[in-house]
């Protein structure tokens, strides 16, 4: 069996290959989509990633979160349940010497309940399992004021209460969105 690879598309780790393990529900975000997301973030953050804290709740290959680390994010927490994926993430973090990256083996809901002050939460959960509906109510407690949420889904998403849809697009069967939390809304 041939190992599939994707690559980090920008920043100091640019062109680093990431092996894609064979795991149920794992859908690595395509290069073009990650590039679009990080162009959006560069615009909203004026290209400044150094003070940002990022939480990748369904890390899988780690590509989404590692793109943030590659661009200089202060802290990136990769949360993943699959043991093989966790081992691969830890090995890649070690290979890159990515000091800003931490790998947390565990459940997304539990990790989100204990999270606070994140500038960006990345959500690329397995489709058709109701993950986004369970996560949205917990996101306000995890986000910094005006924090951003990136979400991938099988269908277009409307902004939940307290959030504003900033950008959305579609690549193949995947819809992707960038939302902003409005901390001042009650």
Sorted by where each begins, the domain ranges of the chain are: 4-181
pLDDT at 82 over 90: yes
CB 69 within 8 Å of CB 99: no
| pLDDT at residue 186 in the model | 39
- Residue 13 backbone dihedrals phi, psi, to 5 degrees: -100, 10
CB 23 within 8 Å of CB 82: yes
CATH architecture of 4-181: 3-Layer(aba) Sandwich (3.40)
| pLDDT at residue 138 in the model | 96
Tens of pLDDT, residues 45-58: 999 999 999 999 99
pLDDT at 105 over 70: yes
CB 124 within 8 Å of CB 58: yes
Tens of pLDDT, residues 112-148: 999 999 999 999 998 889 999 999 999 999 999 999 9
State the burial class of residue 182 (Cβ atoms within 10 Å of its Cβ: 0-12, 13-18, 19+): middle
């Amino acid at each position: 069996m041939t190992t599939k690879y994707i690559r980090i598309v920008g920043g100091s780790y640019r062109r680093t290959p990431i092996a894609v393990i064979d795991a149920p529900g794992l859908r690595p975000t395509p290069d073009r989509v990650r590039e679009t997301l990080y162009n959006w973030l560069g615009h909203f953050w004026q290209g400044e990633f150094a003070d940002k804290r990022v939480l990748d709740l369904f890390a899988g290959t780690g590509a989404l979160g590692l793109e943030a680390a590659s661009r200089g994010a202060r802290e990136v927490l990769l949360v993943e349940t699959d043991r093989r994926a966790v081992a691969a993430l830890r090995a890649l973090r070690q290979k890159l010497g990515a000091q800003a990256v931490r790998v947390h083996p565990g459940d997304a809901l539990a990790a989100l309940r204990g999270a606070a002050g994140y500038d960006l939460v990345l959500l690329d959960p397995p489709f058709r399992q109701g993950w986004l509906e369970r996560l949205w109510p917990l996101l306000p407690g995890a986000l910094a004021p005006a924090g951003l949420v990136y979400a991938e889904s099988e269908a277009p998403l409307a902004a939940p209460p307290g959030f504003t849809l900033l950008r959305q697009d579609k690549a193949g069967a995947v819809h992707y969105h960038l939302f902003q939390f409005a901390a001042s809304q009650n």
